[in-house]
Amino acid sequence: MKNLICLVLAFLFLASCASKTINTEKKRRIAVATQRVGEEYYNSGQYTAALRNLLDAYKTLPDDPRLNNSLGLVYLAKDRPDLAETHFKKALNLKPDSTRAKNNLGAAYLKQKKWDLAIRCFKEISGNLLYATPETPLANLGWAYFHQKMYKTAKIYFEKSLEIRPDFLIAIHGLASIYIETGYYPHAIKFLHHALGKKPGSCHSSCGSGKSLYSIKRL
C-alpha cells in the first residue's frame, strides 16, 4: 500500500511538471507571436501599438536579444534614446556579436550627444568585413564627427559611405551639410542637384519625413 501511494504521488508530481512545461512553452509561443505583431506595428510606423505589444512580450521573454533590440528601436522612434540605450546594451550583453544592435546603440548615443561613445560603436562595426551594409556605420561616423565640428574627418566618412552606396541619403545629407556649415553654398547646391537629380523627390520623402537623421538597422 505504501509503495502504491508513493507511485501515485510520483505520477502526480511528473504530471504537474509536464503541465508546467506545456504552459511555459505555450506562454513562450504567445509571447513570440506578440513580439512579431509589435515589430510589424513598428515597421508600419505605429510606434505606440508596437511598444504595447513588445512590452507585453517582454514580460515572458526579457532575455531575448532580438526583442531587446526591437524595444530599443521603438524607444528611439518615440524619442526616448535613454531607454533605447538600455535595451540595445542588454541585446549586446545577450548577443555580443550583434552588429545590428551595436549600430543602433551608436545611434542612441548620437541622439544623446554622446559623440565619443557613438564613434567607438561605429568604428567597431565599420572594421567588420562581414557587416552587410558598411555604408551605414560610415555615414553615422560622419555625423558624429560633424557634430564635433571635425568637418574634414566627417567628410572622409561621408565620402566613404557614398563610394559604397552613391544614393545613400543619410550620407548625401551629411556631405551637403558640411558644405553649408563651411560656407561652400555653391558646392552644396551643385552636389545636391547632382546627387538627388537621380532620385527626384527623395529629399522630400526622407529629409522632411521626421525620421531619425541617423541610419539605424531596421527589424
The predicted-structure confidence for 6-52, as pLDDT tens digits, reads as follows 444 444 444 455 455 668 888 899 999 999 999 999 999 999 999 99
Q: What is the percent of the chain where pLDDT is above 70?
A: 80
CA distance 65 to 102: 12
**What's the number of domains the chain is made of?**
2
Q: Among all chains, which residue has been given the C-alpha cell 572594421?
A: 127
Q: Which of 96, 111, 144 is the last residue of a domain?
A: 96
CATH number at residue 49: 1.25.40.10
In terms of domains, do 59 and 7 share one? yes
In terms of domains, do 86 and 2 share one? yes
Domain assignment of residue 212, yes or no: yes
In terms of domains, do 170 and 92 share one? no
In terms of domains, do 77 and 141 share one? no
Least confident of 112-116, 129-133, 170-174: 129-133
Domain assignment of residue 109, yes or no: no
In terms of domains, do 54 and 7 share one? yes
Q: Which of 96, 122, 143 is the last residue of a domain?
A: 96
Domain assignment of residue 102, yes or no: no
Q: What is the CA radius of gyration of the chain?
A: 23
User: What confidence category does residue 208 fall into, taking pLDDT thresholds of 50, 70 and 90?
Assistant: very low
Domain assignment of residue 89, yes or no: yes
Contact between residue 203 and residue 170 where contact means Cβ atoms under 8 Å apart = no
Cβ-proximal residues to 147 (8 Å cutoff; 6+ apart), any chain: 110, 113, 115
Domain assignment of residue 123, yes or no: no
CA distance 158 to 32: 38
Helix, strand or coil for residue 217? coil
The domain in which residue 40 lies consists of: 1-96
